Chain A
Amino acid sequence: MQTAIRRPVRPTISHWLAPLVWLLLLLGACWGMSWLEPLFRLAEPDSRDIIYDRADFIVLLGRHLQVVGVAALLAIGIGVAAAIAVTRPAGRDFLPMVSQLASMGQTFPPVAVLALAVPVLGFGNLPVIVALLLYGLLPIVRNTLAGLESIDGGVAEAARGMGMTGGQRLWRVELPLAAPIILAGIRTSVTINIATAAIGSTVGASNLGDPIISGIVNGNIAYVLQGALLIGLLALSVDSLFARLQPGSPD
């Protein structure tokens, strides 16, 4: 339970150093990709176009973040709410069903979800958001359930015995104690989806997957590398940011 204990942490620059460095590298790569042209030429010596120039990287980054962000917010809202609902006395009966549904969501390959969603929702960001939402739900539901169930029986009994209402127990005891585990689930979910969102480019959602898809289609490895580099840096930035938000996490 050590991780559940919140100690006063004085935020310092060094505390936020890792995410800051990754973020600066990401932004630097977005704006200064052309400086790396000699490097990418090694991968693609014969091509005329080395640096992807059909859209600004920073614009693609913005769109990427947008689609991942919307999907993550929805997944957090739905996932945490569902997990809370099925751990209340009234919703206990639905617990097996919800955890099963959530794991089914992750067995569905996002590409398959896209293929199924496009005829219904059309091309663009919407089917991508649906795919990411389904794919990202499991880690959040699973971790929220694990977090809420991990609360010490004595603590739960004392909270009841002292006369806390259901809402007071949830907000003041259960969620704060489960927070590190829930946050770990959100971290997993968002990090996976930053990578997964790239396939959205195949159904007309413009994001950091564009250079990758375009590179594959045109046989330009340099484009693929540029897209992959940016997505990797984005995932690292967000992941290290979550690591800092998580109390008791050493990295």
Chain B
Amino acid sequence: MIELIQVSKRFGDALAVDDVSLSIERGELCVLIGTSGCGKSTTLRMINRLIEHSAGEIHLEGQPVREFREEVLRRRIGYAIQSTGLFPHWTVARNIGLVPGLLKWPRARIRERVEELMALLGLEVEEFADKYPSQLSGGQAQRVGVARALAADPDILLMDEPFGALDPITRESLQDELVRLQARLNKTIVFVTHDMDEALRLADRLVVMNHGRIIQQGHPLELLRRPADGFVESLLGGADRGLKEAALLPVSQRMTALDDAPLAEQRVSQQATLREALSIMLWRHADCLTVVDAADTPVGQLSLRQLVGAGDARAAAGRTDTDQAAG
């Protein structure tokens, strides 16, 4: 568990982080989002003391980070960055084994751990172990970067725009991979990004920052439905919010039981999001879909009316909409 209590960071006269309080539970994936220069990276780097905070307190499992020796603290915290920072003169295997090596694990155990991680991140040991970082594609290098961050099995993982420099397809596949890894490893992750789609896709808790302050934090759906102000709303996509919300909700939430009517021709998986279902409807010019399970057995149906949640005016009324409020 990570706790920031009224933390501030001053660079000369500029206040980069201003009175930030944040508590991240064990196993939570917390995404810090905001425009560049909003203090999200600084906040992240104060946790492993790459930057020392000027005021307030940062606690790790209840212990102030200042009480740790810097190196000891950092070896306990995984760290992955956008530029990967892989050592160009070390092989992939040696790069991944960096922190276990610093912790003086026995050689055999390091090798075992490296192979385990490479398998976990979909890197063929025979193919990649002896390669140098310059021989890897961007996505492969970032996988190695994530493997290195996970090497000593830290409880906490700090990720600073790790997928920011990748092409959209690679980025999405790595995001999916992170979700899959997180379901398995249950780490406490602090993830910095400026990409809202990435944030919504990953976050258990979304923290919106601006000018060094936290503007709003909470579950992504909560922020989508009740943005605190115009800034949060525009960051969340303004008019696109409906689609972003739909992308977070599974079909199973809005589908209804099958009735006697004939099955609709077009099908959608019950794990798909409402956004995907809507896309199928638009593409196929269909206003009703048959919802199927993994074995392609029909389990329900979804009409356009149900998809958009029409008739649930009560929920819609609860939503703040700063545009309308302002106009």
Contacts and interface: CB of A to CB of B under 8 A. Distances in A.
Contacts of A168: 102
Contacts of B185: none
B85 A155 contact: yes
A6 B132 CA distance: 9
Nearest to B158: A161
B88 interface: yes
A154 B89 contact: no
Contact of B48 (A7, A156, A159, A161): A161
B228 to A, nearest CB: 32
Interface residues on A, range: 20 to 34
B81 A164 contact: no
A113 B81 CA distance: 51
Contacts of B260: none
Interface string A160-198: 111111001000010011000000000000000000000
B71 A165 contact: yes
A162 B50 CA distance: 10
Interface string A132-164: 000000000000000000001111111111111
Contacts of A163: 70-76, 99, 102
Contact of A157 (B50, B73, B99): B50
B87 A161 contact: no
Contacts of A159: 85, 87
A12 interface: no
A162 B72 CA distance: 10
B98 interface: yes
A1 interface: yes
B194 to A, nearest CB: 18
Interface in B285-301: none
B83 A153 contact: yes
B88 A162 contact: no
Contacts of B148: 162
A20 interface: no
Given A160-B74, A163-B71, A164-B71, A154 B134 contact: no
A5 interface: yes
B89 A6 contact: yes
A5 B81 contact: no
Given A1-B88, A4-B89, A176-B89, A161 B50 contact: yes
A162 B98 contact: yes
Contact of A7 (B82, B98, B102, B132): B132
Contacts of A157: 50, 81, 85
Given A162-B98, A163-B74, A177 B79 contact: no
A2 interface: yes
Interface residues on B, range: 20 to 34
Contacts of B76: 163
Interface in B55-77: 70-76
A7 B75 CA distance: 28
Contacts of A6: 89
A4 B70 CA distance: 29
A7 to B, nearest CB: 7
Contacts of A164: 71, 98, 102
Nearest to B130: A8
B83 A5 contact: no
A4 B88 contact: yes
A90 to B, nearest CB: 16
Interface in B94-129: 98-99, 102
Given A2-B134, A176-B89, A177-B88, A162 B81 contact: no
Nearest to B132: A5
B86 interface: yes
Contacts of B74: 160-163
B79 A155 contact: no
B193 interface: no
A1 B89 CA distance: 10
Contacts of A176: 89
B84 interface: yes
Given A5-B132, A177-B89, A162 B84 contact: no
Nearest to A155: B85
A170 to B, nearest CB: 13
B100 to A, nearest CB: 11
Contact of A158 (B71, B73, B81, B134): B81
25 contacts: A1-B88, A2-B134, A5-B88, A152-B85, A152-B88, A154-B82, A154-B83, A154-B84, A154-B85, A155-B85, A157-B50, A157-B81, A157-B85, A158-B79, A158-B81, A158-B87, A159-B85, A161-B79, A161-B158, A162-B98, A163-B71, A163-B73, A163-B75, A164-B98, A164-B102
Given A155-B85, A176-B89, 8 more contacts: A5-B132, A153-B83, A155-B87, A156-B85, A159-B87, A161-B81, A161-B85, A163-B102
